[in-house]
């Protein structure tokens, strides 16, 4: 039993060391309101690469290839957070945020026609954070909690929920940061 505990502590300390050395650029925001359950953030325009599809599970792989150099400049691009997913009229999407040094004019163009460079327009987003696995059940549970709280607080939702994940697959579930968010109409309370 003692060996198991020692092994667990070594793994845990490695995970702390590994995750602190893997600091990724995050889309900046201003916190404009906070409750016990959620917060309202204001984001400026953000540049993303995205894949929209109806039944293809290769979105992450396609986006990862783009940032790994499969673009018109053969440029490797640093990973950023979060990775976002959601629904659009034409299907489901996955997005990688581009580092802040890029604009529409200087971002490498995708070689893959399934990948598009898009701008997420400035706006307010209601966000609930949670840890654990980024499973559908965990996400749906927190999305529904956030939705209910926004209804109770008379905050109008503009569109479907967004799933945001911040950690790689080897991060211990209790150390993971996940979010469910909605674009909202925000007026100071």
Pairing of strands 80-81, 25-26: parallel
Average pLDDT over the chain, rounded to whole?
88
Asked if pLDDT for residue 168 goes beyond 70, the answer is: yes
5-22 pLDDT, tens per residue? 544 444 444 444 444 435
When comparing pLDDT for 23 and 42, which is higher? 42
Query: Closest by alpha carbon to 158, among 166, 147, 142, 149?
Result: 147
45 Cα distance to chain centroid: 15
- How crowded is the C-beta side of 160, counted as CA atoms within 13 Å? 12
When comparing pLDDT for 24 and 48, which is higher? 48
Average pLDDT over residues 19-34: 80
Query: Closest by alpha carbon to 64, among 47, 54, 79?
Result: 79
52-71 pLDDT, tens per residue? 886 667 899 999 999 999 99
119-135 pLDDT, tens per residue? 999 999 999 999 998 89
70 Cα distance to chain centroid: 22
Asked if pLDDT for residue 90 goes beyond 90, the answer is: no
């Amino acid at each position: 039993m003692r060996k198991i505990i020692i092994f667990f502590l070594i793994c845990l300390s490695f995970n702390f060391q590994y995750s602190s050395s893997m600091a990724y650029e995050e889309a900046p925001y201003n916190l404009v309101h906070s409750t016990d359950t959620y917060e309202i953030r204001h984001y400026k325009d953000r540049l993303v690469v995205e894949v929209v599809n109806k039944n293809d599970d290769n979105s992450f792989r396609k986006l990862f290839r783009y940032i790994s150099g499969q673009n018109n400049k053969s440029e490797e691009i640093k990973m950023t957070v979060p990775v976002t997913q959601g629904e659009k009229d034409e299907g489901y999407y996955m997005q990688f945020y581009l580092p802040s040094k890029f604009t529409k004019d200087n971002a490498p163009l995708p070689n893959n026609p399934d990948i598009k460079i898009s701008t997420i327009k400035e706006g307010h987003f209601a966000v609930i954070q949670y840890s654990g696995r980024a499973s559908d059940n965990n996400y749906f549970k927190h999305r529904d909690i956030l939705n209910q709280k926004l209804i109770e607080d008379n905050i109008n939702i503009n569109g479907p929920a967004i799933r945001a994940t911040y950690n790689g697959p080897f991060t211990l579930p209790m150390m993971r940061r996940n979010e469910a968010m909605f674009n909202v109409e925000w007026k100071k309370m």
